[in-house]
Amino acid sequence: MNNGFYYETEIGKIGIIENGTAITHLHLKESIPQDVNIIETPLLKKANKQLQEYLTGKRQTFDLPLAPQGTEFQQKVWSVLQEIPYGKTYSYKDVAKNIGNIKASRAVGMANNKNPIPIFIPCHRVIGSNGKLVGYACGLDVKEKLLEIEKQNGNS
């Protein structure tokens, strides 16, 4: 059975879920599913510590085992997202190019939307080709806040 725990952060209450060996989900603006044990494990403590450090600008990369479940295409997209440098943004087209399918921008957007571990897998770093903040499952206000944190702390 999976374990999860809620944490208060400057972007609101966040639920993090792990499967005993890796982080599987991060929930903003929604609750942890009922079939999850609400217990704080060492891995969840570590994930929260790193998340808090990130949100205060003290951490630029995460050192956590991640195990997102998704299709082969989604896995490719999420892998590219993890390669986007801190403080940088890619367009959906850039991500599509990186997975070898330039015409897959819309599908990349759908894969972004299905990312079960936002922030740790930084889908907030993907923006429209016109530079606009478009679509974010956790809300555009959160996306804007995360990008602002990275912009302010990117040169450290």
Q: Kindly list the catalytic residues.
A: 123
What span, in angstroms and rounded, lies between the C-alpha atoms of 4 and 11? Answer: 18
What length does the chain have? 156
Residue 115: both structure tokens together: 């990312």
Listing DSSP states for 31-52 in one string gives: PPPTTSEE---HHHHHHHHHHH
Three-point CA angle 89, 95, 99, nearest 5°: 150
**Among 50, 16, 30, 10, which residue's Cα sits nearest to residue 137?**
30
Looking only at the bridges linking them, the beta strands covering 37-38 and 23-28 are unpaired
